[in-house]
Amino acid sequence: MAQRPRVRVNQALTHTNDYGAAQCMRSLAHRSGHCSYTTHTSYCHEHTMSQPISHIEWFRTASPYIYAHRQKTFVIALGDATLSNAALVGIAGDLTLLHALGVRLVLIHGNTGELQVTSSTKIGAPVLTVENFPQYLAEVGATTQSLLAHLSMGPLSAAIRSSELTAVSGNFVRGKPLGVLEGIDQQQVGAVRSIHAEAINRHLDSQALVIVPPVGYSMSGEAFGLDPTLLAQAVAKELKADKLIYFIDQNGLEDASNRLISEITRTELSPENWPNLAPVLTAAQAITKEGTTRCHLINYQRDGALLEELFTRGGCGTQIVQHRSSTLRPAQPEDISGILALVKPLEAEGVLVKRSRELIESELGNFWVVDQEDTIIACAALYPFDGAGEIACLATDPEYRDLDHGEALLSTLIASAQSQGMANVFVLTTQTAHWFLERGFKQAEVSALPSEKQTLYNWQRNAKVYLRPVITP
């Protein structure tokens, strides 16, 4: 399946924001405690300069993200540097807030003690030996407890009672010994063998936050220390997480001119260009190859970075994706070939009414397209008819279906109908009735159509009519 767009922003949204986003989000949480929002979206991901905006305005811009992130699974890797930093208080508060907003959270943590398992420790003398392993287990245990204590503090606003968040930790990871590398027995350093995803999901389903310590347990009753970076990747893969978020000690990746790279595809990414982040970047490349997970790199020292990254259009870190984000926009003359390529197979199947190039050219002002990396992957049109609008030519490239492109186009057309003062939108369809029924349309008689459309109705095609008020009562 193709990648789910990261940013799903209402077409009307033009603002981006920065640090203020986190403050707004926290103060809104303070005021409301719980949230339930329904806003639909289009997408783009430009890293533009931020402007100060009011709380209310900001809340409107954030609401699509709140909606988009609900019930999504985010795996968040907290390395030892993050856990040891004073910023952890703020991060824990923001995690609690995310949890309150309905995000399914799985935290992978490192070890704040002396003994660290990282990819680079795999060759050479073992970091974890039979002798020092009890110390490692004690340090990891203390780290888990410290994290639990931080999460029990609740968000910074203190409006969401800490008792509403239950965090659980356990033996979710089956481990195996890393074995003998280049002739050296790695002793208690382990690798992930499997993840008990069902057990994690059970806890997430019951609204718990899950903490996975960097320890794997073997069938023989032994325990092994794990690299938290690789563990986070393995957990995200097994859970088919929507996001894997790594906290790092810089504002994402920067290009040669020291500008933040807001988004990069896995194929564009060369981990060797950022040697200090190579293990994280390699893990990011691996997880994004799976196609369902997006990977984010954010700065643990930046207050509110988690909220800023997740609830603002520009974000504040770097996201690593399989495919670039899409843009939903009005069609331009250069899109005509793309639209034709998209709709021709559906016309041949009789799903869409035939339209010539000339007709599309002359009606281009009615069309909207979803453009991904200069390819038109979805389109739709809104034709005005005497106070109502016909939704037509709605199509998504089969490679990109089930990613809400259709939904985003429909929302955009309805918003456009509203701004043009239309009371209703209608659609004539032969094979897609239920898609529209599930989106607030009701079947109607041909006689309910605007009179001009009635005269054009093709009785031989016998398409069914579905109608929906522009403003839902």
Ligand X SMILES: CC(C)(COP(=O)(O)OP(=O)(O)OC[C@H]1O[C@@H](n2cnc3c(N)ncnc32)[C@H](O)[C@@H]1OP(=O)(O)O)[C@@H](O)C(=O)NCCC(=O)NCCS
The residue among 212 and 391 lying less far from ligand X, judged by its C-beta, is: 391
The residue among 1 and 56 lying less far from ligand X, judged by its C-beta, is: 1
The nearest distance, CB 432 to ligand X, in angstroms, is: 4
The residue among 336 and 343 lying less far from ligand X, judged by its C-beta, is: 343
| Cβ-closest position to ligand X | 406
The nearest distance, CB 428 to ligand X, in angstroms, is: 7
The nearest distance, CB 386 to ligand X, in angstroms, is: 20
The residue among 1 and 180 lying less far from ligand X, judged by its C-beta, is: 1
The residue among 200 and 380 lying less far from ligand X, judged by its C-beta, is: 380
Tokens of 65: 């993200």
The residue among 244 and 403 lying less far from ligand X, judged by its C-beta, is: 403
The nearest distance, CB 391 to ligand X, in angstroms, is: 7
The nearest distance, CB 45 to ligand X, in angstroms, is: 18
**Residue 17: closest CA among 52, 67, 65, 63:** 52
CA angle (347, 348, 352) in 5-degree steps: 20
The residue among 160 and 427 lying less far from ligand X, judged by its C-beta, is: 427
The residue among 196 and 439 lying less far from ligand X, judged by its C-beta, is: 439
Which H, E and C letters describe the chain, residue by residue? CCCCCCCCECCCCCCCCCHHHHHHHHHHHHHHCCCCCCCCCECCCCCCCCCCCCHHHHHHHHHHHHHHHCCCEEEEEECHHHHHCCCHHHHHHHHHHHHHCCCEEEEEECCCCCCCCCHHHHCCCCCCCCCCHHHHHHHHHHHHHHHHHHHCCCCCCCCCCHHHCEEEECCCEEEEECCEECCEECCCEEEEEEECHHHHHHHHHCCEEEEECCEEECCCCCEEECCHHHHHHHHHHHHCCCEEEEEECCCCEECCCCCEECEEECCCCCHHHCHHHHHHHHHHHHHHHCCCCEEEEEECCCCCHHHHHHHCCCCCCEEEECCCCCEEEECCHHHHHHHHHHHHHHHHCCCCCCCCHHHHHHCHHHEEEEEECCEEEEEEEEEEECCEEEEEEEEECHHHCCCCHHHHHHHHHHHHHHHCCCCEEEEEECCCHHHHHCCCCEEECHHHCCHHHHHHCCCCCCCEEEEEECCCC
Tokens of 208: 């718990």
Strands 464-469 and 104-109: unpaired
The residue among 75 and 427 lying less far from ligand X, judged by its C-beta, is: 427
The residue among 165 and 342 lying less far from ligand X, judged by its C-beta, is: 342
The nearest distance, CB 439 to ligand X, in angstroms, is: 8
The residue among 196 and 401 lying less far from ligand X, judged by its C-beta, is: 401
The nearest distance, CB 378 to ligand X, in angstroms, is: 6
The nearest distance, CB 379 to ligand X, in angstroms, is: 9
The residue among 182 and 349 lying less far from ligand X, judged by its C-beta, is: 349
How many angstroms separate the CA atoms of 19 and 312, rounded? 10
Contacts with ligand X by CB under 6 A lie at 346, 351-352, 378, 394-396, 401-407, 427, 429, 431-432, 434-435
The nearest distance, CB 382 to ligand X, in angstroms, is: 13
The nearest distance, CB 434 to ligand X, in angstroms, is: 4
Neighbours of 355 (CB within 10 A): 18
The nearest distance, CB 8 to ligand X, in angstroms, is: 11
Strands 318-321 and 253-254: unpaired
Burial class of 455 by CB neighbour count within 10 A (0 to 12, 13 to 18, 19+)? exposed
The nearest distance, CB 407 to ligand X, in angstroms, is: 3
